[in-house]
Amino acid sequence: MAKGEGAESGSAAGLLPTSILQVGERPAQVKKEPKKKQQLSICNKLCYAVGGAPYQVTGCALGFFLQIYLLDVAQVDPFSASIILFVGRAWDAFTDPLVGFCISKSSWTRLGRLMPWIIFSTPLAIIAYFLIWFVPDFPQGQALWYLLFYCLFQTLVTCFHVPYSALTMFISTEQSERDSATAYRMTVEVLGTVLGTAIQGQIVGQADMPCLEDPNGSAVASEGANRTHSSSGCSDTDSTELASIL
């Protein structure tokens, strides 16, 4: 064989179409197996979507009824109530990027990077939420009580919701599945908004209104705007006197 003959034949074989090559000269083709899609079941999507309901329920309840509760039930003065609501919202805006930064710097664990934040913040957020709707026995420090637990709840619910929202990128590698799970979550969050408005309003409406003594000595309900009488806090004998005053 002449020098360079093998190289010329090899280069010619590479330039010729595969159809005119002999069977023995055709290059070997590697078969690529089709990639299986990582599909999520409806149960998995529902379980993921349920996690968005508590955030919407508590957010709507606090947004609609916390001011009414502080003024009418807890008897906090209007200036202190406005300070509580403003500082709580401002603190929530501050903790959102702070918690996101802390989560991004946290190390991976056996449960992952996001799940420890969700697991440990959930029970503490439940306790803080119920303490917001509790009237302490000491009237002098009520404003500090509500401010403390309102800011604490905002911090804990941020520690829950920020990693929960980030879970969307980890539940599936398929964009269509992530979009479908997000649609399930948004649907449940809308239902949570409705439930938070309806259920919490009934709870706040059933709260006992404290009775105050008017200058004539009769016990009247402290809700002066509606002029209603609290049946649990005021005696039935004062109903006639309240009607005469109205």
Tell me if 62 is assigned to some domain.
yes
Alpha-carbon distance of 117 to 195, in angstroms, equals 26
Question: In whole angstroms, what is the distance from residue 217 CA to residue 238 CA?
Answer: 10
Residue 58 pLDDT exceeds 80: yes
- Name the more confident of 131 and 17: 131
CA dist., res. 235 & res. 218, Å (int)? 10
> Same domain for 166 and 228?
no
Looking at the fold, whether 114 and 203 belong to one and the same domain comes out as yes
The owner of tokens 């209007």 is: 78
* 108: containing domain: 42-207
238 band by pLDDT with thresholds 50, 70 and 90 = very low
Tell me if residue 220 falls in helix, strand or coil. Answer: strand
162 and 54 both lie in a single domain: yes
| Rg of the chain (C-alpha set) | 32
pLDDT of residue 81: 93
User: 8 lies in a domain?
Assistant: no
What tens digit of pLDDT does each residue of 96-155 get?
999 999 988 888 888 888 899 999 999 999 999 999 999 888 878 889 999 999 999 999
0.75 surpassed by pTM? no
If asked whether residues 151 and 229 sit together in one domain, one would say: no
H-helix or E-strand spanning residue 88: helix 78-105
Q: Compute CA distances 76 → 3, 147, 154, whole Å.
A: 101, 11, 20
Task: Say whether both 216 and 202 belong to one domain.
Answer: no
Same domain, residue pair 114 and 224 = no
Contact 210, 222 (CB under 8 A): yes
- Is residue 243 a contact partner of residue 224, using CB atoms and an 8 Å limit? no
Q: Same domain, yes or no, for 147 and 219?
A: no
Q: Are residues 162 and 74 in the same domain?
A: yes
Pairwise CA distance, residues 34 & 129, whole Å: 50
Q: Are 192 and 108 part of one and the same domain? A: yes
Q: Is 123 helix (H, G, I), strand (E, B) or coil?
A: helix
pLDDT at 214 over 80: no
Q: CATH number, domain at 191?
A: 1.20.1250
Classified as helix, coil or strand, 137 is coil
Are both 162 and 234 inside the same structural domain? no
Instruction: Return the structure tokens found at 94.
Output: 């501050």
Q: Is 5 exposed, middle or buried, given 0-12, 13-18 or 19+ CB atoms closer than 10 A?
A: exposed
User: For the chain, how many structural domains are there in total?
Assistant: 2
Give yes or no: residues 178 and 235 share one domain.
no
